[in-house]
Amino acid sequence: MQAPIMDGVRIKRGQGEVVRLPRGASLTDFADKIDAMPADLVKVLIGLGEMVTATQSIDDDTLRLLGGELNYAVEVVSPEDEDRELLESYNLEFGEDEGEDADLEIRPPVVTVMGHVDHGKTKLLDAIRSTNVVSDEAGGITQHIGAYQVATMTSEGVERKITFIDTPGHEAFTAMRARGAQVTDISILVVAADDGVKPQTIEALNHAQAAGVPIVVAVNKVDKEGADPMKVRGQLTEYGLVAEEFGGETMFVDVSAKQGTGIESLLEAVLLTADAALDLRANPHQDAQGVAIEAHLDRGRGPVATVLVQRGTLRAGDSIVAGDAFGRVRAMLDDEGNPVEVALPSMPVQVLGLTSVPGAGDSFMVVAEDRVARQIAQTRQARERNALLAKNRVKRSLEDFLESLEKGEVAELTLIIKGDVSGSVEALEDALLKIDMGDEVSLRVIHRGVGAINKNDVTLASASKAVIIGFNVRPEGKVAELAAEEGVDVRFYSVIYNAIEEVEAALRGMLKPIYEEVQLGTAEVREVFKSSKFGTIAGCLVQSGEMRRNGKARLIRDGAVVADNLSIAGLRRFKDDVTEVREGFECGVNLGNYQDVKVDDVIETFELREKPRKP
Ligand code: GDP
């Protein structure tokens, strides 16, 4: 049954059937599902006031709107569901331990250190690392791979391990949270005893509580004069963290990261809290699964990813897929740079052998064959692209669209972001996309990645008039020359803040200038002469400011503007042509073709000055 939906469009209306579409689907995808012509769907959407092309990615609301119009129940499949279905199609599942309860074995807790800036998070992580009881001789090269494991001796004389996520700047942590990757079992909240609870202390606390992660409080800097560890306990009570010694459930440990005191007790408190509040077990006898914590491109070794095994055992030679990257584990290194053959649950290792760089927070899993890893990665890459397109589409109604066309196109700054580690690329992108310049200009990131700026980046930038942002990376070989030839703007930064500032300035520069009028002077007409050579000449007395040749002018008579858009075509003092005449002097003014000047008129001169936009 073909019923006209609107003039010239014939689409079969649905009867409330469910149409499942992936997030970021296009009208072509939609048309496929309901056996219609994409062009017809484009027309229907125009009728609904939305301008989109057939192949453009559409946001969820628009998909549902269109579905509603055609009487289909559109179900937008979330990326998570889609991914689950993708894995299911290979008989895989992420996130659950295989087997029975009896297959589960105790695993070390995974700990994140959070707190206000300068309260000693970094120092504490260093102090903890150096207390490692199994860390053999001093001087062993410690590597910052994004996480490390320490062994500690409990007061019962049992050696137990704890894994620490050790990410400077917390960029990866933020990225991981944004992706919903929950790797942290316990949070250590660092509060400096001489400074007390601060805004970021509360922020960190809220994040941990929202994620349901138990907290151990490290009251740091107790060595300092003015340290008041009791005050910290009191302050945190207000936020629901009541110290054990006051009948609460939270363990507070006084430490000095600087002097290395209290560290053992802190580690023990972590273990006690884990034992009391959590059931930390995993099945080590299955294919490994976990999360990529940090990844970068290494000049010599290629993509290097630090992964945290959450269940199973990871082995050299395994085929893995991590986010949209895949490969075979060529070698594994522990946090001291030693090669390891196997990695058990809660163990962080650096993995070599991936073909590209995964994102911080991406899940990874071992699959049976290279082929499966590649296919899953490629499907994810395609989905990622679509989602990005959908996210970046400027949603505009037809009216807005036409209006902006009339005004002369909405200005858009297109960027390509390359960086040294995925955490910083993501952090930078997030920060840049948050710059709000209102509706007049927008920012779009068309590509981003980890590694040097290469030929492809420049070609893409040239084709889409994009600017390349390099964060802690340089162009490969001859790429800088190519960029210069193609006229591609490449900018390098090593501080995120600087990049943000410059991009913001660029966006501001794209705003159309706002001009304001600045009055330059006024002159009263005292006499009017007619000259055969120059036409009408007004003999004036400059009353304020100055008259300037070629300046803009208007003529005022009895307080009303009688002529605007004039210009001072000629300016004379006595017989001489001059460029300006100041207040208090007489002059002859010629207003070009404009002849209707009378005695007592006022000539007002002004200029248009570009007004700086309010930052
Ligand atoms: P973060 O910003 O939380 O990572 O803080 P840092 O670890 O960088 O420490 C900030 C400052 O506090 C540094 O100058 C440290 O040396 C100092 N600091 C950290 N822990 C202690 C401590 O226990 N005692 C004293 N006196 N200073 C500390």
Domains contained in the chain, CATH given: 2-77 (no CATH), 108-280 (3.40.50.300), 289-386 (2.40.30.10), 396-510 (3.40.50.10050), 514-611 (2.40.30.10)
Could you tell me the distance, in angstroms and rounded to a whole number, from the CA of residue 119 to the centre of ligand 1?
6
Q: Pick the atom of ligand 1 nearest to 116's CA.
A: 3
Of 67-71, 181-185, 235-239, 312-316, least confident by mean pLDDT is 181-185
394 is written with which tokens? Answer: 């400027």
- Calculate what percentage of the chain has a pLDDT beyond 90: 43
Q: 């017809």: which residue's tokens?
A: 40
Selected residue with higher pLDDT from 59 and 223: 223
Whether the pLDDT of residue 521 is over 50: the answer is yes
Helix ranges, 171-262 (H)? 171-178, 199-210, 229-237
User: Of 18-22, 141-145, 158-162, 198-202, which has the strongest mean pLDDT?
Assistant: 158-162
Give first-to-last CA distance, the chain, whole Å. Answer: 58
Which ligand 1 atom lies nearest to the CA of residue 127?
20
Helix and strand numbers (H, E) in the chain are 15, 34
Measured by CA distance, the residue closest to atom 2 of ligand 1 is: 118
Q: Ligand 1 centre and the CA of 585: distance in Å?
A: 70
Which residue's alpha carbon is at the smallest distance from atom 6 of ligand 1?
Answer: 120
Burial of 317 (0-12, 13-18, 19+ CB in 10 A): exposed
**Stretch 46-58: mean pLDDT:** 81
d(CA 116, ligand 1 centre) in Å: 11
How far is it, in rounded angstroms, from Cα 57 to Cα 235? 50
For residue 341, CA distances in Å to 118, 332, 447 come to 38, 7, 36
* 112, 116, 123: residue to mutate for ligand 1 pocket, most atoms within 8 A of CB: 123
Plot region of 347 (φ>0 → left; ψ -120 to 50 → alpha; else → beta):
beta
Residue pair 415/445 in contact (Cβ under 8 Å)? The answer is yes
Is residue 419 a contact partner of residue 450, using CB atoms and an 8 Å limit? yes
CB-CB contact of 70 with 34 (8 Å): yes
For 110-160, the three-class secondary structure string (H helix, E strand, C coil) is: EEEEEECCCCCHHHHHHHHHHCCCCCCCCCCCCCCCCEEEEEEECCCCCEE
The average pLDDT across 487-513 equals 76
8 A C-beta contact, residue 585 and residue 549:
no
Give the number of the atom of ligand 1 that is nearest the alpha carbon of residue 259.
23
Tokens 């549902």, located at residue: 64
With pLDDT > 70 as the criterion, what percentage of the chain qualifies? 87
Q: Which residues contact 561 (CB under 8 A, 6 or more apart)?
A: 554, 555
CA of 260 to the centre of ligand 1 (A): 12
With a cut of 60, say whether residue 340 has pLDDT above it. yes
Q: Tell me which of 20-24, 111-115, 249-253 is least confident.
A: 20-24
- Residue 258 CA to ligand 1 center (angstroms) comes to 7
Closest CA to 496 of 431, 437, 423: 431
Handedness of CA 518, 520, 524, 526 (dihedral sign): negative
Return d(Cα 319, Cα 307) in angstroms, integer. Answer: 14
Q: How far is CA 402 from the centre of its chain?
A: 30
**Residue holding tokens 């000049």?**
299
Distance 111 CA to ligand 1 centre (A): 19
Contact 50, 56 (CB under 8 A): no
Total Cβ atoms within 10 A of residue 112: 26
Cα-Cα-Cα-Cα dihedral sign, residues 374, 376, 378, 380: negative
Average pLDDT over residues 1-14: 63
CB under 8 Å to 496, separation ≥6 — which residues?
424, 427, 428, 431, 471
Residues with CB under 6 A from ligand 1: 115, 117-123, 220-221, 223-224, 256-258
pLDDT tens digit string along 430-465? 888 887 766 667 778 888 888 888 888 888 787 777
Q: Which of 113, 117, 118 to mutate to test the pocket of ligand 1 (most atoms within 8 A of CB)?
A: 118
Ligand 1, atom 24: closest residue by C-alpha: 221
- Other beta carbons within 10 angstroms of residue 600's beta carbon come to 9
**Residue 229 has what pLDDT?**
96
pLDDT tier for residue 6 given thresholds of 50, 70 and 90: low
For the segment 383-433, what is each residue's pLDDT rounded down to a tens digit? 777 666 655 444 333 344 345 444 555 567 778 899 888 778 888 888 888
pLDDT digits (tens, 9 = 90+) for 153-211: 888 888 999 999 986 445 555 556 556 567 889 999 999 999 999 988 888 887 788 77
Residue with tokens 């053992």: 264
> Nearest CA to 149 among 167, 132, 136?
132
Place of tokens 């509706």: 439
Query: What is the pLDDT of the chain when averaged over all its residues?
Result: 85
Residues near 88 by Cβ (< 8 Å), separated by ≥ 6?
A: none
In the predicted structure, residue 148 carries a pLDDT above the cut 50: yes
Q: Got the DSSP string for 414-449?
A: EEEEEESBHHHHHHHHHHHHT---TTSEEEEEEEEE
Neighbours of 388 (CB within 10 A): 17
